[in-house]
Amino acid sequence: MNRVWSWLALGVGLLYFFLPLLGTLEFSLRKRKGEYSLDAYTAVFADPAFRATLGYSVGMALLTIVFGVLLVVPTAYWVRLKLPRLRPWVEFITLLPLVIPAIVIVFGYIRLYNTSSFLPLTGSASGTNLLLMFGYATLALPYMYRAVDTGLRTIDIGTLTEAAQSLGAGWVTILGRIILPNVLVAVLSGAFLTFAIVIGEFTLAALLNRPAFGPYMQLLGANKAYEPAALAVIAFAITWACMGLIQLVTRFSNHTRVNA
Amino acid sequence: MTFLSISHLEKSFGANRVVKDFNLPIEKGEFVSLLGPSGCGKTTVLRIVAGFESPSSGSVTIDGQDVTGLRPNDRNIGMVFQAYALFPNLTVAQNVAFGLKVKGVAKAEAEARVAEMLRLIGLPDLGGRYPYQLSGGQQQRVALARALAVRPRVLLLDEPLSALDAKIRVSLRSEIREIQRELGITTVFVTHDQEEALSMSDRVVVMNGGIAEQVGTPFEVYNRPTTRFVATFVGTLNLFEAEADGQGLRIAGVPVRLPEAVEAARGGRLSVALRPESLHLGGGEVTLPATVEAVEFLGSILRLRLRVAGVLVALDTFNRADAPPPALGRAVEVGFSARDLVVLNG
Ligand SMILES: Nc1ncnc2c1ncn2[C@@H]1O[C@H](COP(=O)(O)OP(=O)(O)OP(=O)(O)O)[C@@H](O)[C@H]1O
Ligand SMILES: [Mg+2]
């Protein structure tokens, strides 16, 4: 009897998730009257703005990931190694972006870094890009930090650090050759989440007026009928590809598992 | 010539004084063990020598150089940890080569050194394996090779064998000692296992409550303990209450004349100790009546539990096929020589 209920619950859950998706997929194929076609997809891929904005967002995502890794890995490592009592506080701070809306962050940025401020980052395109990347890194911080911190928990960083030190290694060597490779799986799952967040992000990019993929989706949605549905399916595909990659990476890097 | 010198070392964590005026000069090539119960400060002393903790006061000198203020990565000291601490993302060969790479040793030379080290620890063919593919004993040998590859001035081992199975533990003891002798490397070995300390070391430091209670060869520490703690902690010991009168002692009313070698006690009540192997069945220089309470068969040795003068004592005798142990409950005589008595004053 219990069985039946579990299956029923699972079925309802799946329907709840997949019905809208199926609806969107079905709708995206109906651009041509009377038959299913990929016309909407062809139109999207042919749009130079699609390629430009997607390219921009992918580039920003990669920059954000690099910045995030350089910021989070040493921080999480240092906190675990030397300041374990501060961990709850650091964790709290890294969770703040989940409760502070992006719009608050971006207005704060614009007020702080406008053209008449002490650091006029919004005055140039590259300055604004930098600001946007910091914003993205902030939004991704909760996921990145948690992922890395969990990864660090699986290895004995204290002893590994001391072993490396006794062999003459300094901090850069320890982080680059021991710590980072051992939490690579965790870092990658954080990276893929960051990627998914950046690709779909709207608020920061729109208010900072950068040509990102999020605002492009919004623009298309306001002006076209079938293409937004196609775009939504594409965005889903990208996200799922990221999730699939996380699984793959996790499976293929079993040598990082310690049997201590 | 003292090679590694630990002088007037003090360490406190908050109000907790963990190491108290610890002094230990070590000769070049010597193998010294720090032996003591859990929490007595062995690891702390070792970590101060390695540079992972800084002492509250006192100094550490290696080969005439004061290293007290030096960072651990500048000390050129090899360390082996209880938890192996191999780098899980690197192969065995890469683990051993790690320190060489950090030091910028040329590739060809580093490879030769790694091969030499793997041969030394008896695992010449396992260079390509990852740590998780090795047994605990193999991992610890690789950790030893990794520490030795950089030709450190001093080798420190913190309970390197205590995570291993009993059998491997015993065989690794002699293996470590052999490698240490071959390289002539000055070594400090931390353990709470007295058998380990006694069987491997040139000298043993018995620690208690942050103090070095006695420093001496295994022979001295075992046979001539200077404090009650050392006597009871190292080896099995039978304690008797005794009364001193002018010339000698009385144990359970039996007079014992003390030879010159055993320090004469001033008078009053005191404790004397005897190792199980110093007692034998049958009469001797001193003879006491006893009853057999239990017999433990330890292979080459029989350990009898006897009640003598109200106290339970252990007596070790060699196992001989033609001499079966006495029956339980039987009244026997035990004898010993007054020379073997240890008078405890601590
Ligand atoms: N980082 C630290 N902070 C506070 N107290 C510490 C610290 N490290 C060690 N201690 C304390 O110092 C004392 C000695 O510790 P130490 O690790 O040197 O003992 P040990 O002789 O190695 O014991 P064991 O055989 O259990 O390893 C213990 O009471 C321990 O609680
Ligand atoms: Mg210890």
d(CA B337, CA A243): 79
Alpha helices in A113-183 (DSSP H): 125-153, 157-166, 171-173, 180-182
Structural domain for A101, as ranges: 54-210
Tens of each residue's pLDDT in chain B, 346 residues: 799 999 999 999 999 999 999 999 999 999 999 999 999 999 999 999 999 999 999 999 999 999 999 999 999 999 999 998 999 999 999 999 999 999 999 999 999 999 999 999 999 999 999 999 999 999 999 999 999 999 999 999 999 998 888 888 899 999 999 999 999 999 999 999 999 999 999 999 999 999 999 999 999 999 888 888 888 888 888 888 888 776 777 887 788 877 765 665 566 777 888 888 889 888 888 888 899 999 888 888 889 999 988 888 899 988 888 888 888 888 899 998 888 888 776 4
pLDDT of B59 reads 93
Short-list B185, B240, B243, CA closest to B32: B185
**CATH 1.10.10.1100 fits domain B236-344:** no
Q: Is residue A225 part of a domain?
A: no
A vs B: CB pairs below 8 A = 79
Residue in this structure with the two tokens 């506080």, named with its chain if needed: A89
Mean predicted confidence (pLDDT) in A104-133: 87
ipTM above 0.85, yes or no: no
A40 — pLDDT class (breaks 50, 70, 90): confident
pLDDT tens digit sequence for A179-226: 999 998 889 889 988 998 998 899 999 988 899 999 998 888 888 888
* B197-206: pLDDT as tens digits: 999 999 999 9
What is the C-alpha to C-alpha distance for residues B109 and B87, in angstroms, rounded to an integer?
22
A125-167 confidence digits (pLDDT tens): 888 999 999 999 999 999 999 999 999 999 999 999 999 999 9
Pairing of strands B154-158, B77-80: parallel
Residue A260: pLDDT over 50: no
| Rounded average pLDDT over A81-95 | 92
In a domain, A79, yes or no: yes
Report if residue A247 sits inside a domain. Answer: no
Inter-chain touch A256–B89, beta carbons under 8 Å? yes
Question: How many domains does chain A contain in total?
Answer: 1
Asked if B199 and B173 touch (Cβ cutoff 8 Å), the reply is yes
Q: Do you know the residue count of chain A?
A: 260
C-alpha angle B86/B92/B97, rounded to 5°? 90
CB contact under 8 A, A159 and B78: no
Q: What is the pLDDT of residue A224?
A: 84
Proportion of chain A above pLDDT 70, given as a percent: 97
Is the domain defined by B2-232 classed in CATH 3.40.50.300?
Answer: yes
**A76 assigned to some structural domain:** yes
Contact B103 A256 (CB under 8 A): no
User: Searching chain A, which residue's CA lies closest to the CA of residue B82?
Assistant: A159
In degrees, rounded to 5, the angle at the alpha carbon of residue B2 between the alpha carbons of residues B154 and B175 is 40
Confidence (pLDDT) at B151: 92
Is B86 within 8 Å of B131 (Cβ atoms)? yes
Q: Provide the pLDDT for residue B297.
A: 86
The string of DSSP codes covering B31-93 is EEEEE--TTSSHHHHHHHHHTSS--SEEEEEETTEE-TTS-GGGS-EEEE-TT----TTS-HH
Nearest to A167 among B51, B99, B130 (CB): B99
Q: Name every chain B residue with its beta carbon within 8 A of the beta carbon of A167.
A: 73, 98-99, 102, 146-147, 150
CA B136, CA A166: separation in Å to the nearest integer?
21
CATH number for A67: 1.10.3720.10
Examine residue A241 and state whether it is found in any structural domain, yes or no.
no
Q: Do A166 and B73 touch (CB under 8 A)?
A: yes
The per-residue pLDDT for B191 is: 94
Q: Which of B67, B86, B89, B135 is the best mutation test for A, with the most CBs of A within 10 A? A: B89
Examine residue A161 and state whether it is found in any structural domain, yes or no. yes
Q: In chain B, which segments carry CATH 3.40.50.300? A: 2-232
Q: Is pLDDT at A258 greater than 50 in this prediction?
A: no
In a domain, A109, yes or no: yes
